[in-house]
Amino acid sequence: MKLTTCDFKLGVITAYVIGAVYARAGSHESHTYVADEAAAASNTNILPGSFEELLDLRSIACVKPWQTFQASGYDRSGGFYDSGNFLRVEDARHYVLMEAKGPGCIDRMWFTYKSEPGKEPYDLLVFLDSLDKPVIHVDLDDLFSGKHPPFVEPVGGLCGNRTHPGRYSYVPIAFASYCKVVLVPTAPKEQYQYRVNSLGVTIPHIYYQITYRKFEAGARVRPFQWELDANERQALVRVQRLWSNCGASPWHGEMKLSHRATEKVLAARRPTALFELKGPAVIYALQLSVEDPRGLWLDIYWDEPLKPQISAPVGSFFACSDSVKPSRDVNALWLGRTNGSYYCYLPMPFRRQARMVIRSESDSVASINARIEYRQEELTAEHGILCARRYDDASPLVGERYEVLNVTGKGHFIGLIMDRPGHMEGDDFFFVDGQEQPSIHGTGTEDFYNFAWGLAHTGSLALHGITIQGNNPICYRMHVPWSVPFRKSLLINWEHGHDVRRGPNLDTRRYSGVAFYYRFESD
């Protein structure tokens, strides 16, 4: 490994090791990891690029002052070959993956390739604010090994296929004026795998995605440093503890919450009201226990609209199946299922009234236990309402991408659950505010979820995962706190199936899921 900015001191490494051990030791405790209320009250002092930003949980529902982009290896000709495509190649074998002017921040990196460990080595070079010398210069596999803080679990690591895993990192890498990311092979050329793409060009067989934000000129960021100060070390330890304790509410502790609980018998083919609350307030936890969720829908109405802003099958809303009884727990940070109970901890502000309903489309009678935790709070125009929109395409058209989300107005996208992800070969496209070219263009469905080489490899992590329920993969990924803002509109569509010779959008099986976003009042 080559660290070009500083050497690690023993005390720094010790702090990280203690933090990692502490995170694992506390992973089964409950009601221990608290959203930083003091930080949230003064979040203007929290800089992008800091681990403190990952703890600013209450701002998730607030307007975001950035644009979100992604660099990836998608096939520039629209074909099947999503590996080995770079921004450009310099000095014969220096592959430029991303280049951007700042201020900005890399929030996610993902890589995969098929090779034995060490057989196809690459160095990752990240230049920040200067081309004189890379701030990060490290062997790619080493970066995701946990050996080199702050790139430590669960903020970064491996998931999915054990032989050829997905390598992911959510370590913030901020820059004030400029960023360039370069991949450099460090072994002889004949040691690597290549393939010939549809244009007849020989390309390396490595996949990547780099998701990043760009801020307005003059915005302050915390530029990346290998050696963290005391506050940032403590913040990283707290992030490790938070992300290692999924299933427990992140809001418990200093924040005093009111609660309501109810038990209802759900009549067949009828809606049943669970809760009605007066605002302004924020719901911080929703928990449901039901033996069989099939045919049950969760509808939530904020501030007396004619239609619910949240409407989704109960299982799907919590990253589980809508077609089988609960079979596996999903241990994610914001929503999932554990100990027989579904949970959602996304903050849900409302101004006048909240009404929660369970709507039955089943012929069976069922019973449900429900609990909410909330707090009366004054809200501003900066607070959005949580929306969850079901998409369900029974038979996508051949030759056309299917639509995941198409909304107008102002808001930010925060996550996606696929309960029927269909064929793994499907790129994602995010068009913000009427863009002709997407600001986010992915490389495959499993890649979007930080996994690799198919949807059969599983894992349940804080912000992303794939579980198998009823012989069907259920995928989830949450984009918080680094959401995708839009001011006028957001269109997300997806390829379904791909063939080397015949092209994309050939798979006609059913595709379905739930898209999450916050919506704001118009300016």
How many degrees, rounded to 5, is the angle at CA 387 between CA 44 and CA 246?
Answer: 70
Q: Which of 29, 27, 7 is nearest to 19 (CA)?
A: 27
Do 232 and 262 reside in the same domain of the chain? no
Answer whether residue 251 is part of any domain: no
pLDDT (0 to 100) of residue 43: 53
Q: Model confidence over 64-110: pLDDT tens digits?
A: 999 999 999 999 988 889 999 999 999 989 999 999 999 999 999 99
Q: What gap in Å lies between CA 468 and CA 327, rounded to an integer?
A: 9
Helices 230-243, 10-25: crossing angle, 10 deg rounding:
20
Tell me what the pLDDT averaged over the chain comes to: 90
Answer whether residue 1 is part of any domain: no
Please answer whether residues 6 and 226 qualify as being in contact, where contact means their C-beta atoms are separated by less than 8 angstroms.
Answer: yes
Do 225 and 296 reside in the same domain of the chain? no
pLDDT (0 to 100) of residue 254: 67
Tokens for 188, please give them: 């002889």
**Mean pLDDT across the stretch 275-304?**
96
Residue where a domain terminates, one of 215, 243, 271: 243
pLDDT for 5 beyond 90: no
pLDDT for 44 beyond 70: no
Whose structure tokens read 């809001």? 251
Q: What gap in Å lies between CA 318 and CA 335, rounded to an integer?
A: 5
Residue where a domain terminates, one of 194, 220, 243: 243
Answer whether residue 449 is part of any domain: yes
Do 211 and 282 reside in the same domain of the chain? no
Do 197 and 230 reside in the same domain of the chain? yes
Residue with more model confidence, 317 or 197: 317
Please answer whether residues 287 and 371 qualify as being in contact, where contact means their C-beta atoms are separated by less than 8 angstroms.
Answer: yes
0.75 exceeded by pTM: yes
**Mean pLDDT across the stretch 182-207?**
92
Do 176 and 302 reside in the same domain of the chain? no
The enclosing domain of 119 has a CATH number of 2.60.120.1390
Whose structure tokens read 């890498």? 173
Do 15 and 133 reside in the same domain of the chain? yes
Do 500 and 419 reside in the same domain of the chain? yes
pLDDT (0 to 100) of residue 498: 86
pLDDT for 497 beyond 70: yes
> What is the domain range of residue 137?
10-243
Does an H or E element contain 511, and which? strand 511-520
Q: Model confidence over 454-488: pLDDT tens digits?
A: 999 999 999 999 999 998 999 999 998 899 999 99
Among 5-19, 46-60, 420-434, the minimum mean pLDDT is found in 5-19
Specify the length of the chain in residues: 523
Q: Which of 470, 464, 440 is nearest to 452 (CA)?
A: 464
Please answer whether residues 257 and 285 qualify as being in contact, where contact means their C-beta atoms are separated by less than 8 angstroms.
Answer: yes
C-alpha separations of 12 from 26, 244, 286, 312, 471 in Å: 21, 21, 39, 46, 45
